[in-house]
Structure formats: structure tokens, C-alpha cells
Amino acid sequence: MKHIYLNLKRFDVPPEYGGVNRLAPVQSWGAAVVSATQEELKKYDPAEVEFVQYLPEAHLLAAAAARCPGSPVKLGSQGVYRMNTAPGGNFGAFTTNRPASIVKAMGCESTLIGHCEERNDKKGVLAEGGCADMAAVDRLLNQEIQCALDQGLSVLYCIGETSEEQADWENVLGRQLDVGLAGVDKSRVVIGYEPVWSIGPGKTPADKPYIQKIARFVKERTGGMDVVYGGGLKADNAAMLASIGEIDGGLIALTRFTGQIGFYPEEYLEIIRLYLGAPAT
């Protein structure tokens, strides 16, 4: 099974507010993403590949309503809180947070946990409190994974090393895997590898041998879990990533990096074609 994930981050913000959304008005943006992609994605065999789109929470209801019968698009949230509602327990005291129960109720089947941007946020909060124990981040993420799985969601769990951690990548990634996955049902989790040191303008992208090395390490450490490339599946690396047998898919975000940068559905579909090949007709 291949996994193609789409993290739409905050691509809903219009240009006049500093964002990159040229696709649709904010009110209909989530629906526009689903409507522009689901028919083409129907052409792929659902037994061979799944398509999950992670949207900001405000757009999930419109996106769910836009799904047609038999839609191949699975929806996901960009995270869940480390505690959840429960019958006879906490029924809603979660101001500013996103319990897994509402994610499920809004029509999601999956959630994204441990993305490098989430890790950075948690590191920053812990640092303000004087905590330098990076395993604390992984323990918090483990609680999020447990809540998601208990609610019946699948999980894309991201791991990765920064430039400062790269020389010690084995210990860093090993800790993120061991602590983050402690006690969880691994059959409903896919690992997304993000080489944080290589992501961003002016940085040298991770090459095939490095990605293959990490994927092999993850599979050995986890007993063969699926691993997708989370450093950005793009048009210019799709063929290379497709040639790595240990990689089981990828995470797409921006589709255009020059000019009017942003996410464009046709370019998203083209990246998928470059990675998977043209769909059967």
C-alpha cells in the first residue's frame, strides 16, 4: 500500500493577509480542494494507494460535505490534543484545543502528529519553562497518538532531525520512535520522515542514499512499519522517491515554489502522476 498525504498547513490565508490562497474564498476553500481532486484520484486503485488530505479545522466540515459518493479522499486533522472527551468524564473543557472526538465527529479518518512545526512549538513552550528534555516532546506526542487511535483514527507520525542533531541522527530518530510509539497499535500508524536540516530555501535536499538509509533504519527499529518521505514530495523528486523501495509514499505541501507560490490542485495531481504513474483508464 502506498500513502499520499497532503498537508495544507495554513494555505487558506489570502495574499492580502500575507498568505498564498489563490484557489477559492476562505469560506469555500476546503470544499474547493476536495472537489478539484477527487474525480482524478478515483482512477487509482484504492487497494494500492490511499489519499489523505490534512486541513485546518475550520475547513473540515465543508471538505467533508464536498466528498462525493465513493470519494477516494480521506480527510484528516492537523493534530489532536493529548486528552479527549469521554462518557461520564470531561465532556468539553478543551478551550483552544482539538480533542480527537471532534475530529472524528467532523468526518476525519486520520490525523497528523509530530510534524516538525508542531515539534518546534512544543520545544519552545518547554524551553520557556526551563525544560531541555527533548524526550518530553515525544512523550506528549505519544499521548496524542494514543488519543487518536483510541478514537478510531489512523495516524501519520512525523520524525526528523535538525542540522544540530544530524551527527546524532540514530539516537535522535531512535528516541522519537521508541518514546513516541510506546504502547501504541503500530498497525494504524505510518511514519513520515522529515529531514528538517534539508527543508527550506537555500538548503541542500536529502539525496537518495540518505533517505534510503533512514527508511531502512526506521523499518528495522519499528518491525517493518510503512515509511513515507515527509520532506516534501514534489515534481522534481517524485521519480527519485519512487525508485526507493523502502519508501511507501510521500507528503505533499506546496506545489509551486516560485512566482505565485502556493498549493494548486492540478499541480498536486501531476506530482501524484509522476510518483505513481498515470492512472489506469
What is the tally of structural domains in the chain?
A: 1
pLDDT of res. 197: 96
Question: Per the residue annotation, which of 3, 50, 59, 115 is the catalytic one?
Answer: 115
Q: For the CA atoms of 8, 74, 249, 158, what is the dihedral angle to 10 degrees?
A: 60
Is the whole-model pTM more than 0.75? yes
281 located within any domain: no
Domain carrying residue 158: 2-276
- CATH code for position 124: 3.20.20.70
Active site residue 115: yes
178 located within any domain: yes
| 2 touches 249 (CB < 8 A) | yes
Give the separation between CA 273 and CA 238, rounded to whole angstroms: 9
Question: Per the residue annotation, which of 50, 144, 161, 194 is the catalytic one?
Answer: 194
- The β-bridge partners of 154 are 110
Active site residue 194: yes
| 25-35 residue pLDDT tens | 999 999 999 99
Task: Classify residue 75 by its DSSP letter.
Answer: E
7 located within any domain: yes
| 207-236 residue pLDDT tens | 999 999 999 999 999 999 999 999 999 999
163 located within any domain: yes
The helix, strand and coil proportions of the chain, stated in percent and rounded to the nearest 5, come to: 40, 15, 45
Tell me the mean pLDDT per 10 residues along the chain, length 281.
98 98 98 98 97 98 97 98 96 97 98 97 95 94 98 98 96 98 98 95 92 98 98 97 98 96 98 92 67
